[in-house]
Amino acid sequence: MSDQDPPAASGGTVAVDPVATCESEPAESNTMSKTNRSSTKNSKKKSIFLDRLFRPPLFVQTGELQSDKFGSPLHTHATDRSTFSPLYWTANGNIQDLVYNDLLRFILPTYSKTHWLKFGVVTTSQLLVMMWTFQQAFELEAAGLESQSKMWNALGVIEFIFLLGWIAYIYPTLKALKCDWMNPQITGRHRKPMHVSLGMYSTRRQAREGACQWDLPARPTLPNSNIWRLDSVSPNDKSWQFRLFQNVEQALAFMGKTVGDDGEGREENKWNPIVVPGNWMRQGYDKPIYTNMKYPWTCQPPIIPIKENPTGIYKRKVEIPAEWSVKDGSEYSIILQGVESACYVYWNGKEIGFSKDSRLPCEFDVTPLITRGTNELTVIVIRWSDGSYVEDQDHWWLAGLHRSVELVRRTPKADILQYFVHAKASGELDIQVYCRSPIQEKNQARFLTVALYEDGHVASDDSVGKNVWKAGPCLWEDMVHVAENVDSCSISARIAPIKQWTAETPYLYTLVISLAYDDPKEPRTVHAESCRVGFRTMSIENGQVHVNNRRITVCGVNRHEHDPDNGKVVSIQSMKRDVCLLKQNNFNSVRTSHYPTHSAFYRICDYYGLYVCDEANIETHGMKPMGRLAHCPGWEACFVSRITRLVQRDYNHASVIFWSMGNEAGRGRNFVKARRLVQQLDNSRPIVYESGGALAEGTGRTEITDVVCSMYPSVPRTVDLATRTDDDRPVILCEYSHAMGNSNGNINQYFHEFWSKDSPRLQGGFIWDMIDQGLRVPLNDKGDFYFAYGGDFGDTINDKQFCINGLFTPDRKPHPAVAEVKFLQQPVIFQPLEAYMDSKRLRVSVKGEKGQYDTCIRFVVLNRYTFKDLSNMVWSWQLISNRSEAPIRRNSFQVPSSGHGDVEVDLSSVVSRVIQLEKTRPVGGNSYYLNLRGRLKERTTWAAAGHLLIAQQFPLHFFFEQLEIPSKLTLSLPANAPILSTELTDSLATIFWREQTGKKVLAVFDTNTGALLSYCPQGDNVLEAPLVPNFTRAATDNDRGGMELILDFMFPFSGAKDLYHSVVGGSDFSYFSHWSFSGLSQNSPPNLICHSFVITEIMVGLQYTCLAECHVVHAVWGTILMDASIKYTVYANGQIKISQQISPRRVLRRLASFPRVGLSFQLVPSMFAIQYFGRGPGENYPDRKTSSEMGVYSTSPTEMGFMDYIVPTENGSRSDCEWVCFRSQSGDGVLVVADKNGFSLSALPYSASQLDHATHTYDLPPVENGTSRICVNIDHKIMGVGGDVSWYPTVYPEFLVSSTHTYEYSVLLRPLNKKDEAPLIARSV
C-alpha cells in the first residue's frame, strides 16, 4: 500500500495525471535575460520528472538513471551497482553484510512475511518432531515395550503442549502484523503527494510579502487568506480537547462509539483541553522517555507493544470562515506538519487517512466531507508504530501533534500543485511548475507568469514575527500559456548580473509564480506562490566540496529540535535565536540531526546564512546489526518514502547543500534504491550518509555517500581518511568532539588539520551537538527548577544523561567550550612576520629612555572567509601586563578590507608606560601580551555592532638598549619581624610568632598525616579544611566513558565486563573505573599516613623546616599507592613554602592516568575575593585552552566555576597560573605563588566529593559568596577533559598524568594586607 493512494474523487475534484506534460506559445523575453521556455502536449510519453515526483516510491523504476535538466551530475564515487546479489557484498569485502543482513533477517524477522516464514518453519518443525515422537511410541508399543512407549507418548504430549503454547504466544503477534501501525509496507494511506511549502496566495503582492515571513505558509492571519492555522492561540485556549488511552485498540474502539448516531460513548466530561502544537508528555499525560541506542520496548521489528502503547485522541471544532464557500468547487485539505509517530485522521467522524513519519507533513483531502458551519477534526495519535524503529535518534520519545495543524483552501482555479527552482551561481534559473490538468473551467485560457524581484527582508532585533518587507525592482518576468490539458511547464532564464548566495553572503531574491485566467494583456491572478531564491552552485571538484566554484570549510554543529519546556515544539523565535547564536560564534553550517526540521528553520538559514545538511528521518541505532532494516525488502517503502519526500519538500532552499539519507541505520539495498531516486530528483547536491557500524556497516565510507562523513574518528584517523590514496572523496566529519558535560578537549587539534593545507580533502565537520536536551522541571513555587534527563520521569528503560551533550544549555547558555570553538573557527587570523619574533614571543626594541623606538610590528592577515571581505570589521589592539587587570593602552589599527596583505601595529604610544613599569619591575620581571581584536563595524542581521568575532593574543618582549633598569626589586624582612618558636605534641606540631604582645599561632601541622591544619597569617585561621596532597577529582562524563558502556549495549548480561577484563584486560575501560579500582576516586579517596615528621631550625627564630614522610594508602585495601615527601619551610614574615615529591609505587603502573597531582585545601568563606594571573577569563583545561588568554583576572568562587553543567562535574579550572590571591572584604588575604612550572587553579563553593556525588543541580545547595567555604585546588598536573567521544577513553597522551613518573613541585603561601599589590609581590618572592 503506497502512501499516495488518492481518496475517492468528489466535489469537483480533478485527479492529477502524473504523466501529463504541456506546451505553450513562446513569448518575448526580458531584455536583461535570455529565456528559454519549453512545454509539451499531453501524449502517451510519460513526463519523467513528474513520474518521479508523484509515483508511489515503492514502484519507481530504479534501473537506468535519468538525466536531470536542473544540473549536470556531480563528480561522485558512489557505486550504482545493485546490492541485491550476495556476490556484490563478497566482491567488495563485505561478507559481513551477507551474514548480518541477508541471513539474519530470516532468523530475526523484521516484517510480516519473514515472521510468517519463521512461524511456518518453527511450527512445521515442531509438528514433524511431534509426529516422529508418536510414531516411535507406536512402534515401541507394537514391539511390546509398553513402558518405553508410555515414555515416548508422554514426550509427545509435552511437545504437543509446547506447540499449543507456541501458537498461543505467536498468534497475537501475527494478528497484530495486519495493523497499519505495525506494517512497514504501509507508510500512509490517502496521503497527498509531498510538495514544497505552498502559500496559496490570491495576489502577487501577497506572495511577495509572504515570501519574507519566517512562518510561511503556516500563519493564522493575512496576508494569506487561504490557509487557516488551527493551533491553540494561548495556553488557556480550549479549542483542542484530548483523551489518552492505554493502547491503539482502545482508542479505535472509542472512536467507533463516538461516531454513532445516538452519540453514546462520547463521555464529554472526560475530555480535557490541550495545547496544539504540543507533546502530551509535557502537558501532564504519560511520561517522556529518553534513549540513545535502546528501544523502549523489546526489539522485534515491526512489532511494538500491543497492550501498552499510549494513544491520544485530539479533537476540535472547526467553524468554516464565512468568506469560504464549500459549494464553489474549492478543494479543502488538512495538513499536519508533524505528528509522532503515526496517526489516523477523521473529519466529521469519517476516516480520511493514515500516516507515519514524525518529522514531515502529511496532507489529506477533506473536500467530500466538509460542510458549512461547524465541522469536527479528530486525530488519533499513536505513540509507537513500526516507524518508531527507524526513529531511534538519540533524543526524547515525545508523542503528539508537535507542529502546526492547518486547514487549506484551494480555490477552483488555484491549479499550482508543485514547483522546483534551481538557481545556479552563473545566473541560470530553471523553474519547473506542475499544475492541475485538465482544468475545471473549459474554454478559458490560463497563463503562468514567473517574476524575480530584488525585494528586501529585514528581521527586527526584538521579535522574529516583526519582519519588514521592502519591495524591490523586478529583475525578470516571463509569461507562458498553459493549455487546458497541460500539467507541467519548464521555464529557463539567465539573469545577469546576479549576486550569489553563500553562508557568508546570503543574498536572496523573491521568486513569484502566478497563475491567471483570460486576457494575457490584463490577466486576473487567481493563484500565486513564492519563495526566496539564492543563486548558488554545489560541486565536487578534485575531491573537494565547492560552493560557487570555491572550496569551503565546514564549521558545523548538529542540532536537535528541542525546547526545555515544550519538548519537540520549537518556536520561530527559538529557531532564530539558535541560528543567531551559531553565527555569533563563527559557525557556518548545521546538520538537522537526525530528521527534517521545521520548514521555517530552512527559511531562517536561507536568510541569515548557514549551510544545511538536511537529514532524512531514519536511524536504527538500537538494531543489532544496524542494517537489518536497511537491507530488508519489507522496509523498502519506509526508507524510500522518508528520503524522497524530504527532497520534494526542501528542494528550493539555497541553504541546503547536502542531502543526508539518515544516520546510523546500517547499509543495504533500501539505501541504494533511495539514493538512485534522490539522484533522479536532484543531482545538483551531494548525497551523504553515515551508516554507523564500525565493522559490518561501514563508517561513512560506504559506496552510497559522495562525501566521506565518518563520525568520531580520532585526529590521526581523520588525517588518514583525508590522505589515503584509495579514496579521493571529500572528508567532512558528520559528528565529532562529543560535547557531553565538561568536554571538547583536543578540539584544537582537529581544527589544526581542518585549516591545514596539507589535507585539502579534509573540509571540517559537525560537532555533536548544539543543545543539552534537558527538560525543565520545577522544584518549588519560587521559580526554582532543574533540567531532567533519562530516568527522571520514572522511565525504567533509559540512557540517563546521554542526552546532555550540547555546547549550550537547554535555555541556550553557552558552555565554556563554546569560547574555544569560536576561537578555532574565527574567520581571520594574524601571523607575525618572522623578523619580529624572538623565540615564541614578539620582539620590540627600545633604544634609550628618550631614544628611537622600533615599535611597529607587522603581521600577515589571513582571511579565512571564502567569499566575504573584511569591510564590516573594526580592529583594535591592547597591551596588557602581569601587573594589572587594566590594559596599559588600547588603540585601533587598520586591516585591508580585502583581508589579504600585511598589517602594522604601532606600539610607540606604550613605551613610556612600559619604561615606568620596567623601572619598578620585581625580581621575576614583567610579562607583556598584545591582544588583537576584530569586531563588527555595523549591525548585521544576526549580531549588533561591536560584536566580537576575532580575538588573538601574542606574548611580547620589550628589549631595551641604553636604559638603566634595576635587576630586581626585593621585599626585605621588616626590622621588627616576629621571632618563630615551635611546640610539638603527640599529634600536632605548632609554630608560633613571638611578639612583644605575646605568642600567636602561625601554623599547625598534623604529625599523623603531614597536613597543614591551620594557617594564621593575620591572627585568625584562614583554613576551613587542611592543606593536603590531592590526586582525585569529580569525574566528568568523559571520565566515566569506557569499554564497559559498550559492553553493556552489546552484551546486556551480567559478567560480560568481568569476562572481557579477564581475557582482554582493562586498559580501555574508563578512567573512572581505573581510579575506583586504584582508590583514587571520590567514592574512596586515598588516606595520607605520616610515618616520620621532623622539625629543623634553619635560622634561629627566623626559619624552620618541617619534613613529613608519608604514604598515600588505598582507603579500602590499605595498599601503599605512593610515597609523598612534604617539606614545609616556615619564615618569620609568615610565608610558608610547600615542596612535595610524589613517587607512585609499582601497584599503580597500569593506571591510565592520575586525575590530578597537586594540593587541595579549603578557605574560610570571607576570603572570596579572588585575583589570579593565568589563563582566563573562563574555564579552561590543558587540552582546551587555546582560546584562553593570559592576564590578571578577578573572580569569585560562584563565578569561577561553571555550575550550569546539568550533571555536576569537575569544573572551573584555570591553566598556566603563576599566582592567585584570596582576600577578605578588609583587604587582608593570602597569596599563593607557583614555582617555575606554574599550576592549574580552581576555587569553588563545592567540594569535589559534592560535585562527584551530585546527579542534578538540585543536589548542590545554593550558595552566595561569603557564606560558604572555598574549596581550592592547586594542581601541578591535571588530566585533560578529552572529548573525541564520551564512551571511550580519549584524552590524548600529552594530556595524561603518568602514574610512573615522580613529581616534584612547590608553592609559596604569603600573607597579604590591603595595601599589598599581589602582582608585584608574586614576582618578588
CA dist., res. 215 & res. 195, Å (int): 16
In this structure, are residues 713 and 736 in contact, taking their beta carbons and an 8 Å threshold? yes
Of the candidates 332, 313, 312, the residue with the CA atom closest to the CA atom of residue 321: 332
Of the candidates 1221, 1218, 1222, the residue with the CA atom closest to the CA atom of residue 1240: 1218
Q: How far is CA 1317 from the centre of its chain?
A: 45
Secondary-structure percent of the chain, ordered helix, strand, coil, rounded to 5: 20, 35, 45
Instruction: Extract the C-alpha cell encoding 240.
Output: 483542542
Instruction: Extract the C-alpha cell encoding 337.
Output: 506538519
Query: What Cα–Cα distance (Å) separates residue 656 from each residue in 675, 680, 687?
Result: 17, 17, 11
- Longest Cα pair distance anywhere in the chain, in angstroms? 128
Q: How far is CA 385 from the centre of its chain?
A: 26
Helices 636-650 and 599-608 cross at an angle (nearest 10°) of 40
CA dist., res. 55 & res. 49, Å (int): 10
CA dist., res. 1230 & res. 1215, Å (int): 20
CA dist., res. 1325 & res. 1315, Å (int): 17
In this structure, are residues 495 and 427 in contact, taking their beta carbons and an 8 Å threshold? yes
Of the candidates 799, 387, 403, 772, the residue with the CA atom closest to the CA atom of residue 617: 387
- Give catalytic status of residue 477 as yes or no: no
> Cα-atom radius of gyration of the chain, to the nearest Å?
36
Instruction: Starting at the earlier edge strand, list the strands of the sheet with 1103-1113.
Output: 1087-1099, 1103-1113, 1120-1131, 1136-1144, 1303-1312, 1229-1234, 1219-1223, 1169-1176, 1189-1195
In this structure, are residues 1184 and 1240 in contact, taking their beta carbons and an 8 Å threshold? no
CA dist., res. 845 & res. 859, Å (int): 17
Which residue out of 697, 735, 1044, 1179 is catalytically annotated? 735
Instruction: Extract the C-alpha cell encoding 790.
Output: 533519562
In this structure, are residues 198 and 419 in contact, taking their beta carbons and an 8 Å threshold? no
DSSP 3-state of 29: coil
Q: How far is CA 1025 from the centre of its chain?
A: 41
DSSP 3-state of 224: coil
Q: Rounded to 5 degrees, what angle do the CA atoms 340, 341, 343 make?
A: 95
Which residue out of 209, 406, 619, 664 is catalytically annotated? 664
Q: How far is CA 119 from the centre of its chain?
A: 43
Q: Which amino acid belongs to residue 495?
A: I
In this structure, are residues 631 and 105 in contact, taking their beta carbons and an 8 Å threshold? yes
CA dist., res. 1238 & res. 1101, Å (int): 31
Strand partners, 527: 515
CA dist., res. 772 & res. 740, Å (int): 8
CA dist., res. 1138 & res. 1220, Å (int): 15
Kindly give the pairing relationship between strand 544-547 and strand 456-459.
unpaired
- Give catalytic status of residue 664 as yes or no: yes
Kindly give the pairing relationship between strand 362-365 and strand 331-336.
antiparallel
Query: What Cα–Cα distance (Å) separates residue 521 from each residue in 445, 515, 1296?
Result: 12, 13, 78
* Number of Cα atoms under 13 Å in the Cβ half of residue 1101: 6
Q: What is the 3-state secondary structure (H, E, C) of 289-353?
A: EEECCCCCCCCECCECCCCCCCEEEEEEEEECCCCCCCCCCCEEEEEECCEECEEEEEECCEEEE
Catalytic positions are 664, 735
